[in-house]
Structure 1
Amino acid sequence: MTRRVAWSAALVLALAIQLLVLYLPQTPDAPGVTVPGLDKAVHLMVFGAVTLAGLLAGLPRVVVVGYGVAHAVVSELVQHLLLADRSGDVLDVLADLVGVAAAVWVVTARERRDQVSESP
C-alpha cells in the first residue's frame, strides 16, 4: 500500500471521527469524571488529525486548510442553532484552528526537512 493510499484511508477515518465528535446530539460524558480542558484538546486533535491526514494524502493545501477553517466555524453554528443539547463555543473554534495550524506546521517542517536531506 502506498503512503498516499494509507494517508487517504487515515483521512476517511479521521473525518468519520470528527463528524461523530462534532455532531452527536449530546457529548458523551463519563459520570463523575471531569478533565479540565479535555473538550478543547479533543477539538484540537480531531481538526489536527483531519488536516494532517489530508495534507499527507496529497490533497491541495488550500482545500484542506480551507475545509478546516470553514468547518471550525460551521460546526459550532450547527451545534448552537440545530442541536438542542449542544451549544456553540468560540473557544472551540479557536481550538479547532490551533489543530489545523499545528498540522500545517508539522507537514511544513517535514517538507523542509525532506528538502534539506535531498539537496546535494
Structure 2
Amino acid sequence: MTGPLQVHSALSRGVFAVTVLVSLAVLFAPGADVPSAPPGTDKLVHGAVFAALALTGRWAGIQRGVLAGLLPLYAAVSELLQGIPALQRDTSVGDWVADVVGILLGLLLWDLLARRRAAR
C-alpha cells in the first residue's frame, strides 16, 4: 500500500510515538489528576490504551511477537509503578488483565485489517 496509511511510514511511526506518550500520561498521572468515573470505566480506558498501542505499533511496522512480548511487560511495570505512594494510585491485577485483553484485541484487529487489505 502506498499513501498516508502505508506501514512503516513517517505518519505511522509518529502516530505510534504519540500513542506511547498518551499512554504514559494516562498510566502515570497522579491519582488527584484522574477524573472520577463510573465503576469499570478505568478497565475500558486501560483496554483502549493498550489496544491503541498494539494497533499503532503494528502499523508502525513493529513485529507482532515483539509487541505481544513487550506490551504485557509494560502493562505489568506500569501497574507496579502505580503503587508508588507519590502517584496516589493503586496497583490492580484487573487493570493488567484489561491491558492484556486490549493488546490481544489490537493485534487481532490489525490482522483482520491486513487480511482485508491483502484480499483487495
TM band (smaller chain)? 0.7 to 0.9
Q: What is the identity, as a one-letter code, of the residue corresponding to 1:80?
A: G
Question: Please, what TM-score do these two structures have when normalized by structure 2?
Answer: 0.84
Aligned to 2:57: 54
Aligned to 1:43: 46
Q: CA deviation at 1:82?
A: 5.5
Question: Please, what TM-score do these two structures have when normalized by structure 1?
Answer: 0.84
Distance 1:110-1:64 versus aligned 2 partners, 3 A rule: same
Largest Rg, 1 or 2: 1
Distance 2:73 2:57 in 1: 15
Aligned to 1:21: 26
Which segments of 5 or more consecutive residues in structure 2 lack a partner in the other structure? Answer: none
Range that drifts further, 98-107 or 33-42: 33-42
Alignment RMSD (CA, Å):
1.9
Aligned to 2:107: 104
Distance 1:11-1:27 versus aligned 2 partners, 3 A rule: farther
Which segments of 5 or more consecutive residues in structure 1 lack a partner in the other structure? Answer: none
Distance 1:72 1:97 in 2: 8
Distance 1:83-1:62 versus aligned 2 partners, 3 A rule: farther
Percent identical pairs in the alignment equals 30
Aligned length: 115
Q: Does 1:95 align with 2:94?
A: no
Aligned to 1:77: 80
